[in-house]
Structures are given as structure tokens and as C-alpha cells.
Structure 1
Amino acid sequence: MKFSFLVIYLVVVNTFLFRGSNAISSKEYSEILDKISFDYDKRIRPSFDENVPVNVTVTMYMNDLEMIDSNSQLKVSFFLRLYWNDNRLDWSELKSGDVNQVSLNTRGSIEHFWTPDVFFPGAVSVHKKGDPEQRMSITYTGDVRLSEAYEVTVKCESDMTKYPFEPRTCDLAMESYSFTTNEMTLKWKNNAGRPIDIGADLDQPQFIMTQMKDTNNAFVFSAGSFDNVQVEFHFVRTLLYNFLTTYPPAITVVALTWVSFWIDFSTHSSARALFVLLPTLSLIALYLLVHLSMPVKVSTFTLAFLFYRLCFAYVIMALLQFIFVAFMNSCSKCCSKKHYTDRKSSRSDSESSDDERKGCCFSSRCCSISGFIDCICKVAFPVSYFMMVYFHFLETARA
């Protein structure tokens, strides 16, 4: 029991001794803030007297990505961190203990100091979050770090001819609005690994981010040259989801038409007609469903629409085959009926038997032709169709 009290006493004493030797009081903290804010003019950029540009570096932490598929846009939520040095904020002469920086976390206190006028060119919408998601840290050497939370929506470029496997590229760019490269430089901060960090769980329901690339650029306008930092997001649609919702239904509908080739037309003509007409109507409904589900309406052919048009061709060929077989069977019935009429009474028995034999021969010939066509279609349709599907997927993978 005495030992436990002794341990608690030593912990408390060491805590107060450490605090007294390394920490600063609130009065000293206020003196530092008064020193850096006294006679400070935020209208003048840092390094103005030295006639050199102020070097601003950028890092970013992505905490949310949302692909808006309906209008091909990407909503990015992130923390933007800007770093620069302002020698007017040097408070090394007041430094004491282990306190190396002071922090400001309210908009009113941050607005007293100069900050880079960074904006997002090409953005659809920009929402800057305020307190408490805003913080400025100033070290005793005048190094400044400004952290702010943003929600920016940008447009994405996509090649819709490859839908539903089209790649998408979304660019998030930042640059100074009024300071040229002679006054301010803007670069990614690369001395501490990647300048962009991503949250652990940023998966999209229908998209996969394949690449994220950060670049430093400089653009020349009539007002001068401006630095530009940019991050490119590359997305592709998830293969399994789009494959299951686009291709298997169409393949199944086309395969249903092949069942009609195995049904005897003379005994089950209605069932054969059902297996041709229903798939045709079903494929039209699937085509309209895929067309309505497209995020962006385009006038050019897409991979999905090309595939559905090829499926339509096979369904139409099966429908034409059904019409041809129906015609041949109707001719066969007409010939058989024609030679079994009342002409027996007006002709001799030999002539009547000759006509009957001719009618039977023509009828059997028609039936054999329709049966031969069915036999060919049983093999030709599936083989040629699956070859078409294979080459379509091969071209899709190459694209």
C-alpha cells in the first residue's frame, strides 16, 4: 500500500517538474501572439523586401471520393495543407522550453495574416469549410502551415464509345489567382514521401481508381506565368457489376431463339413461334434499359450498343429462319391437299396416282429442305454467335 502511494507521488512530482521546465504559461503564449501580429501588414506578401518569390508547397489528405455517374463528375473532400516561410513571423527570441510552434484555429485570428490566394480552376463547385476545420501553425523560425477543409466537384473526361468499360480521368487543379511565378511559386511538397495521402476506405460502388498522379505545371497567360499543381484521378468501371448487368441477359435471350430449331414445326408451330417472338421483344426491352441507364447520352456507337445490335442481327436471322420454315411447311401442306381433292373423279386412276406421287414427292422435298435448314442452324447459330462474343470481348480488352 505504501509502495503504491510512493509511485503516485513520484508521477505527480515528475509531471509538475516537467511542465514547469518545458511548458510556457498563457502569458508567454500571448506575448508570442502579440509579437507576431504587431505591425503586421497582411496586404504585403512574404519575401517582398528581398524581391524574391515566396515558395509555397502543398500537401493533401483525401478523406472522401464520390463519383457522380449521372453527369460524369467527381466530388472530392480533402484537407489542403499549404507551407511557406514568413520572416515577419519569427519569434525565436521569445522561444522557451520545448514549445516550437503556436497554433491558430479560428477564422478571425487567421485572417490577420497573409495566406496564399489558391483557387481551383475548372471546378464545378467549391465549398470551403470553416471552423473548426481550419488551423494555422507558426514555428519560431517563421515557417507557416495552413490546413483547411474543402469539398470540390470537378468534371471528368470519359470515352463513352467504350461504355460500359470506359476509362475516366478527373483533374483537380490548384493555382494562385493573382500572384505570378515572379511573386509566388506553388509546388507539391515531395520531401516527405508522397504529397497526397488517401483514406483507407474510398472505394466506389461502380468504379475502381487505377491511378493517381500529381504534377507540377506552369501556364502562361496575358497577365504572366502562373504555377499550377494538379492531381489526376484515373477510374474504370467495376468489371463484374457491368458485365453481369449488360451481357448475360442479352446472351441468354439470344440463346432462347435456338430452342426453336429443335422444335418440330409441323406439330408444335405455336411453341416455335413463342421461342422466336418473345426473345425479340425481350431484347428490345433490354436495349432500351441499357440506353436509359447510360450516364451520358451520346450519338456515337458504344461497345454495349454494338454488342446489342449484333444480338439483334442473330434474333432477326432466327425470325427469318422461322418464316422460311413456316413457308416451306405451308407449301408442303398445300401440295398435299391439292392432290387429294375431287380431281380423282375427273381423271383416270393412273393419272390420279401419278399426281398423288408428284404431290407427295414435292411435299417430302419441302419437309426435307426445312429439316435440313434446322439441322444447319442448330450448329451454325451457336458457333458463329459465341465466336462473335469472343472477338467482341477481345477487342474490348484491347481497347
Structure 2
Amino acid sequence: MRGRQIVLGQLSGRAAAALMQDGRLEDLIIDPAGATPLAPGAICRARVDRLVKGQGGVFLRLPEGARGFLRDRGGLREGQTLLVQVSGSAEEGKAVPVSARLNFRGRHVIVTPGAPGVNVSRRIRDDALRDLLVRLGEAALAGRSDPPGIVFRSIAATAPDDEIAAELGQILDLAQAILADREGGPELLLDAPEPADQAWQDWADPPPDSIEDGADAFEATGAEAAVQQMLQPRVELGGGAWAEIEALRALVAVDVNTGSDHSPAAGLKANIALARDLPRQLRLRGLGGQIVVDFAPMPKRDRGTLEQTLRAAFRSESAETVLIGWTAMGLYEISRKRDRMPLARLLTAEDRR
């Protein structure tokens, strides 16, 4: 199908949502229930377990016996309770990364306790509309003690005022209730959103051309086959070239091969094809951390062209990504935040057929 399509349904027995663009899988959300006690986005009450000055943070006790790690937090003491939000995924046996900066996400707005002020997405450029949204936010905060911050998302530009105000009021009340619940042992206070809810929060702008909803929606749209392909290490790059993406415990290794093409420009063509698709591949596979790319052989003079392609490809990525550069051995290093669970952990060997 041509156009932008949201698919809601089941994937290997789990609730899931997929974003398709012109028939190609662009993003994926799968319910992590059972694969992890705390999914990214969950808000919970935690207790300081151990201070580790050498690592620049503290270990926390989280609900369900999980351990968390909070960076750059001075002034905390062992046994102290605080509210944190799960900010990413951790390898099995390691502490879950969390943040003390909470945010409550909705379709039109984001509420940010501890970061006061009313802000509007830069994608909304109409000055009159921006002023209207600021006034709407200020009105919603009027009379509230220790008011949080508000960020109006770009989709607010096309939504009715009463719909935005209603959602904003609900999220402000939810945030106030959770912020008041600081006393007690480790406890989950707000779970991560369901895949369908998160899809509407993250993919509603621009509006989809179609929505497929149902138990067989993934199979009918081809999204299921695309997900199964993401469980394989091989990535076809066209013209006989391919890449292998393998997640190891210490890093993610990417190897680019030109295949049967032995022309002088074969290496650069294969490398550019991989660079353009690498953000999508990492996003859908749920891979992050240290990424090492062994690009196909090419003249050093072409490195600038390849780096420009990489920068353009990662520019629109929401996950924090640092393009570190070339090593002495000619490998390319990338650091990417682990903001979601690896697909291979979510879909077990039994799920993969």
C-alpha cells in the first residue's frame, strides 16, 4: 500500500503496533509484558540502595525486585525514596537505566514536572496559534501549586481547543497525584502505555492515510513478515550487496559486503545504502549501546561523502545518537542510547517459528 499506515493488532501473541510507509516497516511497538518487569516510560517509586561515586550515580531498588541505576544525582542518601522514570532498556542481569526527570506524555501535550514553563513545538510556526496555545497552557496551570512545565506537540496545531484542554487537564491531574505519592517502598505508579496508545501519541502527526486494526492486521499488511526479517542478521542493500547486523554482549557489529559487484564504486554504493537504512534497522531491532561498523573497502577520499550521508540519516532519530568516527583500524564507531528493548528479547525463539 502507498502512503502512511498504522497497524494495530497481535504479533506472536503480544499486543503490537507498527508504522508502515509505502509498504515498508518504519517503526514498531511491542508489549514487553513478561520480558521485563519495567518497560521504558514506566514511572515508579524507588529507594536508594547504594551510592557509587566512581560511576557517577546511585543504584536503586525498583519494584518487582528490579535494580535501577540513576546517573549524576548528588545529595542522595542510602534508604531515601524518590520518583524515577525508566529511560531505557538494560541487558539481562544489569541495572535498568532510570531518570529523575519525569515526563507525562499525551497525544497533544507533554507535562514536565521540575521544568516549568509553557512551550510550543517549533514545527508550529503560526505566531497567533502559538500565542493561543501558550494562553491555554497558562490557564490550565493557574491556581496549581508548584506548577510543572507544558510542551504542546506539533499535532496540537490541528486539534480542537477543547480536546487539547481536556487532555491537558487529565495529564496535569495524573502528574499531581503521582508526585504526591512519594512515601513508601518501591512501587510501580504508572505503567508504560499500551502499544496502541503509544502509537497514537507518537505517530499521529502527520495523520495516517489508513489504520488497520484486528487480530490478523499484521499478517494482512505484510508487517509480520517485515518483523520476522528483522530477526535475521542479513540486510539486503541492492545490487547484490548486503550487510550483517549482529548484537553481541559488548557491542553491535555491522559488516558491509559488496557481493558480486566488483566495480570501483561498489564499496561506496554499498556503504551509502547501509548508512541510509542503518537508523531504521537499529530502531526496529531495538539495538543500541556501542555500534561498530566495518564498511566495505573504499577510497579514503570518499569518507566525507559517507559521513555526510550518516549525519543526514540519523538527524531525525529520536534516540540520542553520537557519530564518534573512524578508528585506527578503519572501523566506524557509533554510540546510541538503548531506549527500547531488543526485538530478539521480545520475540523468543518459539515466537520466531
Using the size of structure 1 for normalisation, the TM-score is 0.19
Specify which structure has the higher proportion of helix. 1
Using the size of structure 2 for normalisation, the TM-score is 0.20
Q: Which has the higher contact order (CA 8 A, sep 6+)?
A: 2
